Structure 1
């Protein structure tokens, strides 16, 4: 069995894994990272999106062995010191969830979107989140949340520089 060494949410893990084990199952079943839901298992819904070396990936389409030597961040690893990440906070404040099933994947994909485009338009948010499905909200509050988080994240460096 292959041995993997992967950093997940700031903690390094070394495990023997089946070559065909999907990253989503490694995260949930081996590491207890159940904040990342299993959705469709076919890459269609995006609920299982995590960050792999800072880029969003659908963890149902990545093998655990492919994460060997890499850094994975789940929705559970976003907050620092008990504080919510600005994207998590914005999703809460803008009521960008209903059932919550898609929320972890939406948050992770949104963070990746802002890495490439710090000030997206509504249309750019919608395009950037293509492949992450929500069956409840109609997306308007999700778009609003992403834009609110983008604003907060852009202002954070300015506040730090001023102090």
Structure 2
């Protein structure tokens, strides 16, 4: 079935299956930052924004995103670069496999929460898994980015 999706501000006509998940559709049109990890909505690798809200694309049918604004990390280059530099400065960069989903979630958190506590940050990030770190460097980077003391 031919559908039109707005991805990172551009309209795309895409032929999809009725039961196709958004992660597969996004990868099909070249958004390779969106990764398939667990297929259960538990790891955060497939995180994107739909209408500026973090969403797990592996658990979202493509047809549910019709007439909505879909944003991947490719559409947030400036914002993601700023946070990535802080991650590096805090020594929190690792292999990078989880970075796109993690960063897009942090950017959404900055838009939604003002001066969050450490517990609020941890709660917001529930479901974003990183196999390389103990999360302390990432937590320091988030606090710096969010301006939290």
Instruction: Mark yes or no: TM-score above 0.5.
Output: yes
2 CA distance for matches of 1:142 and 1:120?
A: 15
Aligned equivalent of 2:53, options 45, 55, 64: 55
Alignment check: 8 A CA contact 1:4 1:69 kept: no
| Consecutive unaligned residues in structure 1, runs of 5 or more | 153-163
Q: Which residue of 1 aligns with 2:126?
A: 130
Alignment check: 8 A CA contact 1:96 1:145 kept: yes
Aligned equivalent of 2:102, options 77, 99, 106: 106
Per-residue CA deviations over 1:98-120 (Å, capped at 9, x if unaligned) read 12111111111111222221322
Secondary structure of 1:110's counterpart equals helix
Secondary structure of 2:13's counterpart equals strand
Q: Which residue of 2 aligns with 1:115?
A: 111
2 CA distance for matches of 1:91 and 1:68?
A: 34
* Per-residue deviation, 1:17: 1.3
Alignment check: 8 A CA contact 1:33 1:76 kept: yes
Per-residue CA deviations over 1:110-138 (Å, capped at 9, x if unaligned) read 11222221322222211110111112111
Q: Which residue of 2 aligns with 1:22?
A: 21
Moved over 4 A (4+): none
Q: Which residue of 2 aligns with 1:8?
A: 7
* Per-residue deviation, 1:19: 0.8
2 CA distance for matches of 1:38 and 1:92?
A: 25
Q: Kindly tell me the number of residue pairs found equivalent between the two proteins.
A: 148
Q: Which residue of 2 aligns with 1:156?
A: none
TM-score normalised by length of structure 2: 0.89
Aligned equivalent of 2:92, options 81, 93, 96: 96
| Consecutive unaligned residues in structure 2, runs of 5 or more | none
Secondary structure of 2:131's counterpart equals coil
2 CA distance for matches of 1:85 and 1:31?
A: 22
